[in-house]
A = this chain, B = another copy of it.
Amino acid sequence: MSPAIAATNGLPVSRNEEGPSRFLLPSDYGDFQTNRLNHTPPLPSILKNPFQVVDGPPTTAAGNPNEIANLFPNLYGQPSVSLVPGQSEVKGQSLKVGVVFSGGQAPGGHNVITGIFDYLQERARGSTLYGFKGGPAGIMSCKYVKLTADLIYPYRNQGGFHMICSSRDKIETPEQLKQAEETVKKLDLDGLVIIGGDDSNTNACLLAEYFRSKNMKTQVIGCPKTIDGDLKCKDVPISFGFDTACKIYSEMIGNVMVDARSTGKYYHFIRLMGRAASHITLECALQTHPNIAIIGEEVAAKKLTMKNVTNYIADIICKRMELGFNYGVMILPEGLIDFIPEVKQLIAELNEILAHDVVDEAGMWKRKLRSHSHDLFEFLPQSIQEQLLLERDPHGNVQVVAKIETEKMLIQMVEAELDQRKQKGAYKGQFQGKPHFFGYEGRCGFPTNFDANYCNALGYATGTLLHSGKTGLISSVGNLTAPVDEWTVGGTALTSLMDVERRHGKFKPVIKKALVDLEGAPMLKFASLRDDWALKNRYLSSGPIQFLGPYANDINYTLMLELGAQFHF
């Protein structure tokens, strides 16, 4: 706790820039940060030795291949590639490459950039790496910085995206594509690397197609990023950041479990990040064994109502009371209510009504709700009713997922249900709910060794793909349950991950979000254990992430189970 390099000891420190876009220096750091700076992630052996990039067979699409072929005439069908040992045909020429972060932060992002940088330094001497600042908007407005060894050094193995920051803009319209074209031409880019989630990689594919259609030399490669874990497929077994975020949340959940057990009088309702998919909740359940974990995909598949979910929780609380437990821990995904069909319906009706009507105090407006929606609205706690009516986005729509504190809503609904049961003599306990939201704390932690190594390999792999002239691929590193040395490296045709959705009468290409597979190994494992966890207390504390010692290189259960790894559980 005594920073070797003093950050604020009053000595004059050379600073490259003051203000928001100042790059950090090692002198800004405490001991631990400095220690992580000097960690060198190991490379897969395929990347340490001479290799060749080998094409696989032609590819198709994840769905609607004809439409995808129409949308991507220059890319559709191109092979995915893999690296195999052998003498490279790449001549070692230098490259000009741009890189950008797109979307929310995920631990490890900086290592993708340093991985690309290291590849260029080691295998393509004389290359230049540009970082576009502030996300895709930085490409369109040509805001960039030339990344040097000194500039990027303080970001090695650190969390966050603050080296060049990020945003949620898209490059989609003809004007935006044109702006991107001007930027890559101005910088004479051979390659552009887009680090992002499903939307951003769809965008990467559109850009690759656009550049190819214009006979431009700029290749585009994507990298799979998202803590939510919903960008994955056979060749891309996991998105980076998921491992770290789940371990941070699990540490906190484990601590709360110990507290619950010690105190013996609270039910903790913990909402976790994860909007469209419940992978984080599922993984944290496997790591910590909560009494209740709600998986949104299952709620949707079973068409559960709010009342069903409330009763499910209340039933377990009543049974636990009989066993003498007046406490417990429950986890749920941020996007839960978006999975409940009746809530979606209610919100659609509210958006429609509130766009045209005034909410009168007497509640006359409610008559416009359909019968079931009306009942549901009345069933909701008053504070949630108010949130539904008052908190609206700039388009006037209810800001459901982002704003509603689902954990508080459930506590109130469970409380009301248990009060009713108490009156009937069916429940004798004193229910006290404690709400938690674990979100920002997990998005920007130091990447685990796994994420640090994985991102480094993804970045380095991106370099090999660009160097061998590939475009429209997503960097893919596999065999992840084996030691890093044995990891496989390649690139997957982005078009092979594509399907289409019809929006406003037009086909739009999408990489479908990988939701929790209710028949997948992680869900089956969870389903086989949850009844035991509900009534017994099988809480596990995984503790804070360790970077040294016997468990420092463990990987998450979801990945192990999905890859069929053998292990004790």
Contacts and interface: CB of A to CB of B under 8 A. Distances in A.
Contacts of A9: 568-569
A20 B287 CA distance: 22
Given A159-B541, A440-B434, A324 B19 contact: yes
Contacts of A261: 160, 162
A540 interface: yes
A172 interface: no
Task: State the main secondary structure of chain A at its contact with B.
Answer: loop
Interface string A526-546: 000100110010101111111
Nearest to A7: B538
A556 B264 CA distance: 30
Contacts of A544: 248, 251, 445-446, 544-546
Contacts of A36: 543
A440 B33 contact: no
A427 interface: no
Interface string A309-330: 0000000000000011110000
A255 interface: yes
Contact of A325 (B20, B323, B440, B550): B20
A29 B262 CA distance: 16
A279 to B, nearest CB: 16
Contacts of A18: 323, 536
A166 B538 contact: no
A437 B128 CA distance: 44
- Counting chain A residues whose Cβ lies within 8 A of the other chain, the interface size class is 35 or more
A520 interface: no
A444 interface: yes
Nearest to A105: B262
Number of copies: 2
B445 A32 contact: no
A517 interface: no
Interface in A287-306: 287, 289
A569 B446 contact: no
Interface string A31-69: 111011000000000000000000000000000000000
A532 B257 CA distance: 39
B8 A289 contact: yes
A151 interface: no
A29 B568 CA distance: 12
5 contacts: A1-B542, A2-B567, A19-B324, A256-B441, A259-B444
Interface of A: 1-4, 6-9, 18-20, 28-33, 35-36, 105, 158-162, 165-166, 248, 251-252, 255-259, 261-264, 268, 287, 289, 323-326, 434, 436, 440-446, 529, 532-533, 536, 538, 540-551, 554-557, 560, 567-569
Closest 10 CB pairs of A and B: A544-B544, A1-B554, A160-B258, A2-B567, A258-B444, A259-B444, A32-B543, A161-B262, A160-B262, A162-B261
